[in-house]
Structure 1
Amino acid sequence: MTAFPVPTMPAPPVGVVGLGQLGGSLAAALLAAGRPVAGWDVDPAARDAATARGVQITTELSGIVVLAVPLPAMATALDELTVDPAATVTDLGSVKRPVLHALGDALGGRFVGGHPMCGTERSGHDAVDPGLFSGARWALCLEPDTELPRWLRVAEVALDVGAEVVPVTAAEHDDAVAAISHVPHLLAAALAATAGQAGPLALALSAGSFRDGTRVIRSDPAFVTAMVEGNAGATAGALARVQEQLARPWPDLVADGHAVVTRQEGRRTVRVPLDRAALLALGRAGGAVTRRLAAFVEGWVPAQS
């Protein structure tokens, strides 16, 4: 029997609002993948840099509109732009519940919250890297009113730039990143401040462990503050759990921490139907989507799941 390919709809255009490190890198990566990209930034230098990479600069956006702006600017990022009423809107913000609250009422199921787990301590259009998303996990929110076809289209954007998509809810995302992203920024700040109080000799002797432990606090302080304050409840809870760990006998703490970060974990390939509950179960199991197929997605879960 001859197999015929399943027809697919053309990929919608992508418009990126905010062309700094994340937005500019996404635009560059999509262009490298062969997808046309439009974009806008309030900074003329960022617009010029994006134009040189092949981005069409415009205030009229359609298809999939990506908000790559600081958290405080999310609610007003589209105010001066003309956006197709049928467009799907997503974002790259590091906290999801506040963004869902700011945009969800106006956009409803057209909004798909997202957060690529990548980036560096650098910022701005000078830090653009088209390889930034390769191999990264990209959390993509599936709320009760999220329209699944729109979620899948945003997932395709993430997959096109080499990321792996993790289906989550906004609440699950914020609880998880408090532990693995937001608290580490606060710990890095505390470590750096403590070393500063220890004096010039301590700073002169600092080497790899201090450099690695404080790298993320080189980020823009305004960005870090907005991130941790935007997720204050979950971050405070995760920080309390860290303090409980530090109160344990140190040999036990060291052994348990070492075991977590050195564990060997294989992967098991799975196929998941295009169903909200099944997709969220994949994310909750620690897995990710790696490929979109006709009636399902392909991905993986940890081997023991």
Structure 2
Amino acid sequence: MPAPPVSVVGLGQLGGSLAAALAAAGRPVSGWDTDPAARDAAAARGVRITRELTGVVVLAVPLPAMATVLDGLVVDPGATVTDLGSVKGPVLASLGGQLGGRFVGGHPMCGTERSGHEAVDPGLFAGARWALCVEPGTELPRWLRVAEVALAVGAEVVPVTAAEHDAAVAAISHVPHLLAAALAAAAAEAGPLALALAAGSFRDGTRVIGSDPAFVTAMVEGNAAPTTAALDRVLAQLQRPRSELVAAGHAVVTRPAGRRPVRIPLERAALLSVGRAGGAVTRRLAAFVEGWVPDAGD
């Protein structure tokens, strides 16, 4: 069967990049944005601009707008709806209640500190991990349709639940935004000389706090409990002797990265076992998908 069309709502960095990548690959793709400049930029990349949404509908808007983003738009009753939001629990509670099994929560881990249609990059998703929620009520054929969209733009799909996703990204995304803010503010307190001498380590450690403050605030407040728990773990680590802390952190980032290929049936528990092991799905094969999990033997 031919791949269904994709409709993207929100044509900023993530949504615009997804639409552009799909259009470049020859996939039928349409889109909508309230910003005329974003619509014009997407149209120039081959995206059909329309308020009528069908196939796989992707919501690429800020978290506060997610609950009302479809107001005034015409959505095919048979469409599968997914999102690109950085927090999954609140979105699932809102849209999952409206759409039931038609909704599949998602989050590609590839955004940058830039935003808006000027930051569109069709290669943004290549090699990225794309978390895709498998809840008890998720309709697996719809999950697979969304997974195929992610795979089509070069991403690897990580099956998760919304709760697992939010706990994980609190540790590796949301707390780093807070730490970047704290590092920048503390360096400023050290005075102009410190900022004048700042180089690679400071730049890398503070890059993400260059993001829109409203976006960062919505993200960490929307995932408040997991973020607080993850931040508490960081604070506990900082109480360790310096040599122990440095050695422990070094061991994590230099650990071996072997992979073992796996074939996974399209079944919820089997898919989630891949994500929980730290692996990902990379290809569809009829009634199965293929992917990999970390190789503990390496």
- TM-score tier by shorter-chain length is over 0.9
How far residue 33 of structure 1 moved from its aligned partner, in angstroms, is 1.6
SS in 1 for 2:71: coil
How far residue 10 of structure 1 moved from its aligned partner, in angstroms, is 1.3
1:20-55 C-alpha deviation (Å, 9 max, x unpaired)? 000000001111221011000000000000011110
How far residue 191 of structure 1 moved from its aligned partner, in angstroms, is 0.1
What is the alpha-carbon distance in structure 1 between the residues aligned to residue 201 and residue 228 of structure 2? Answer: 25
Q: Aligned residue for 1:96?
A: 88
TM-score (structure 1 length as normaliser): 0.97
What is the alpha-carbon distance in structure 1 between the residues aligned to residue 131 and residue 227 of structure 2? Answer: 18
Which letter does structure 2 place at the counterpart of 1:141? Answer: C
Q: Aligned residue for 2:22?
A: 30
Q: Aligned residue for 1:69?
A: 61
Correspondence 1:243 to 2:242: no
Which letter does structure 2 place at the counterpart of 1:291? Answer: R
SS in 1 for 2:264: strand
Aligned residues: 297
Correspondence 1:262 to 2:262: no
What is the alpha-carbon distance in structure 2 between the residues aligned to residue 235 and residue 33 of structure 1? Answer: 37
1:84-106 C-alpha deviation (Å, 9 max, x unpaired)? 01100000000000000111111
Q: Percent identity?
A: 83
Determine which of 191, 198, 219 is the counterpart of 2:190: 198
**Pairwise mapping of residues 114-129 of structure 1 onto structure 2 (< 5 A)?**
114-129=106-121
What is the alpha-carbon distance in structure 2 between the residues aligned to residue 81 and residue 87 of structure 1? Answer: 13
TM-score (structure 2 length as normaliser): 0.99
What is the alpha-carbon distance in structure 2 between the residues aligned to residue 135 and residue 265 of structure 1? Answer: 15
Q: Aligned residue for 2:32?
A: 40
SS in 2 for 1:15: strand
Which letter does structure 2 place at the counterpart of 1:214? Answer: T
What is the alpha-carbon distance in structure 2 between the residues aligned to residue 218 and residue 102 of structure 1? Answer: 29
Coordinate RMSD, CA, aligned: 0.6
Unaligned runs of 5+ in 2: none
What is the alpha-carbon distance in structure 1 between the residues aligned to residue 257 and residue 117 of structure 2? Answer: 36
Stretch of structure 1 that moved more, 256-265 or 106-115: 256-265
How far residue 119 of structure 1 moved from its aligned partner, in angstroms, is 1.3
Structure 1 runs (4+) greater than 2 angstroms displaced: none
Correspondence 1:284 to 2:276: yes
How far residue 112 of structure 1 moved from its aligned partner, in angstroms, is 0.1
1:193-227 C-alpha deviation (Å, 9 max, x unpaired)? 00011110110011110000000000000000000
Q: Aligned residue for 1:5?
A: none
What is the alpha-carbon distance in structure 2 between the residues aligned to residue 97 and residue 139 of structure 1? Answer: 13
What is the alpha-carbon distance in structure 2 between the residues aligned to residue 32 and residue 275 of structure 1? Answer: 32
What is the alpha-carbon distance in structure 1 between the residues aligned to residue 8 and residue 274 of structure 2? Answer: 28
1:56-115 C-alpha deviation (Å, 9 max, x unpaired)? 000001010000000000000001100001100000000000000111111000000000
What is the alpha-carbon distance in structure 1 between the residues aligned to residue 257 and residue 194 of structure 2? Answer: 37
What is the alpha-carbon distance in structure 2 between the residues aligned to residue 127 and residue 169 of structure 1? Answer: 29
SS in 2 for 1:54: coil
SS in 1 for 2:101: helix
Determine which of 119, 124, 141 is the counterpart of 1:149: 141
Determine which of 289, 293, 298 is the counterpart of 2:285: 293
What is the alpha-carbon distance in structure 1 between the residues aligned to residue 53 and residue 59 of structure 2? Answer: 11
Q: Aligned residue for 1:252?
A: 244
Which letter does structure 1 place at the counterpart of 2:155? Answer: A
How far residue 264 of structure 1 moved from its aligned partner, in angstroms, is 1.4
Q: Aligned residue for 1:182?
A: 174
What is the alpha-carbon distance in structure 2 between the residues aligned to residue 281 and residue 30 of structure 1? Answer: 29
SS in 2 for 1:145: coil
What is the alpha-carbon distance in structure 2 between the residues aligned to residue 304 and residue 31 of structure 1? Answer: 39
What is the alpha-carbon distance in structure 2 between the residues aligned to residue 146 and residue 171 of structure 1? Answer: 14
How far residue 144 of structure 1 moved from its aligned partner, in angstroms, is 0.2
Which letter does structure 1 place at the counterpart of 2:139? Answer: E
